[in-house]
């Protein structure tokens, strides 16, 4: 890849303008909160603030896996192909963090496994990923406890590292190299001082993570420890805070559960829609059954649904894909009205195994 470049702060707007995609989304600082927003709805100053703040409260997941999307049309009348419509749209994501790039790696492993999920595949192929280093960590972030770093290491086209008066820009793909080369007028050479500022910022964010997570200790082998700890009494204590709102799975960048439903769009014309579901909802996993009878549900108990979320991310995903289903972004802990902190739960799993293993 080409040598790192320097993008001055006053050239950020021009860089965003050179991203030739139908839709652009970026981190933006709105009233003190970082959020993913359409570039058209925010000022470049808000985007600059978002790129220098902790990771956004929401994730980019809704761009690649919309909360509600049309997947089929059938019946009478003219039928446009929803998959072709998805394939015709191009997207730029500006501000994907290190945890976000790891979430992309996870979604790619799941969604692009043969046979690939068609809608995700075409959107992924048509997405430019502009990542960014975390200049600070959110209080619930714990990527370091899972072996991650607060800066992207893979699956980005261009990475921006915030430094004084601008950003160090580095290409991470052929697409990214071509983007920097095509718009080289916007950049200057990154100086040794810029690179030292980048190194120092990464070191400071890593130290912040170490300090805020120093009281937590995770199992050394989730695949071994978690299955043997699912009966621990500590689960009931944690369960007491869960109200089954589904907030944790909605903000999670790797949760992908969905349901399908059909509806009549016009007389004789029908649509099939895919919508987000949550393993924490009371109706999740309920199956069809005889009228008037209790519907079969392999996870009827609230406890079973609660434990399933942890088992999926830290046990089943290791078995099925060889990777964890959690990237340590900490959004679930920040969103949970019951103050359920995944760091605390996993540390209790470790304690349970030490005391009763």
Dump pLDDT digits (tens) for 7-17.
999 999 999 99
Structural domain count, the chain: 1
Q: What is the edge-to-edge ordering of all strands in the sheet holding 33-38? A: 33-38, 23-30, 91-96, 127-132, 158-163, 166-171, 5-8, 187-189
In a domain, 50, yes or no: yes
Range of the domain at 30: 5-65+84-212
* Distance of alpha carbon 330 from alpha carbon 332, whole angstroms: 5
* Structure tokens, 215: 């009281």
In a domain, 262, yes or no: no
- The continuous run of DSSP H or E covering 105 comes out as helix 98-111
Segment 139-161, tens digit of pLDDT: 999 999 999 999 999 999 999 99
Ramachandran area for residue 352 (φ above 0: left; ψ -120 to 50: alpha; else beta): alpha
In a domain, 15, yes or no: yes
Ramachandran area for residue 306 (φ above 0: left; ψ -120 to 50: alpha; else beta): alpha
In a domain, 40, yes or no: yes
Please give the pLDDT value at position 298.
66
Segment 99-140, tens digit of pLDDT: 999 999 999 999 999 999 999 999 999 999 999 999 999 999
In a domain, 263, yes or no: no
* Distance of alpha carbon 140 from alpha carbon 334, whole angstroms: 6
Radius of gyration (Cα) for the chain, nearest Å?
Answer: 22
Lowest mean pLDDT among 4-13, 21-30, 176-185, 226-235: 226-235
CA dihedral 112, 272, 61, 4 (to 10 degrees): 60
In a domain, 94, yes or no: yes
Assess whether pLDDT exceeds 80 at residue 203. Answer: yes
In a domain, 267, yes or no: no
In a domain, 238, yes or no: no
Pairing outcome for strands 33-38 and 187-189: unpaired
Q: What percent of the chain has pLDDT over 70?
A: 96
């Amino acid at each position: 890849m080409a040598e790192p470049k320097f993008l001055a702060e006053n050239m950020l707007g021009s860089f965003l303008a050179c991203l030739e995609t139908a839709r652009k989304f970026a981190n933006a600082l709105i009233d003190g909160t970082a959020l993913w927003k359409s570039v058209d709805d925010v000022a470049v100053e808000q985007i600059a603030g978002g790129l220098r703040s902790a990771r956004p409260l929401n994730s980019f997941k809704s761009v690649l896996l919309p909360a509600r999307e049309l997947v089929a049309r059938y019946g009478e009348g003219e039928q446009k192909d929803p998959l072709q419509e998805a394939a015709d749209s191009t997207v730029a994501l500006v501000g994907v963090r290190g945890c976000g790039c790891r979430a992309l790696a996870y979604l790619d492993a799941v969604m692009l496994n043969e046979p690939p999920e068609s809608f995700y595949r075409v959107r992924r192929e048509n997405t430019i990923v502009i990542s960014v280093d975390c200049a600070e960590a959110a209080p619930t972030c714990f990527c370091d406890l899972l072996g991650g770093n607060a800066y992207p290491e893979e699956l980005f086209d261009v990475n921006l590292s915030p430094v004084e008066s601008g950003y160090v820009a580095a290409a991470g793909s052929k697409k990214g190299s071509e983007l920097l080369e095509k718009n080289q007028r916007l950049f200057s050479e990154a100086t040794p001082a810029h690179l030292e500022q980048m190194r120092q910022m990464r070191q400071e964010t890593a130290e912040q993570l170490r300090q805020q997570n120093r009281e937590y200790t995770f199992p050394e082998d989730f695949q071994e420890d978690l299955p043997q700890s699912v009966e621990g009494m500590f689960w009931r204590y944690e369960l007491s805070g869960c109200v089954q709102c589904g907030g944790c799975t909605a903000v999670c960048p790797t949760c992908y559960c969905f349901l399908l439903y059909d509806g009549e769009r016009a007389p004789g014309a029908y649509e099939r829609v895919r919508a987000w579901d949550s393993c924490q909802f009371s109706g999740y996993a309920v199956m069809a059954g005889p009228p008037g009878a209790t519907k079969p549900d392999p996870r009827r108990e609230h406890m079973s649904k609660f434990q399933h979320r942890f088992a999926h991310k830290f046990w089943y995903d290791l078995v099925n894909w060889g990777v964890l289903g959690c990237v340590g972004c900490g959004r679930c802990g920040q969103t949970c009205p019951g103050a359920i902190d995944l760091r605390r739960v996993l540390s209790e799993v470790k304690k349970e195994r030490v005391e009763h293993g």
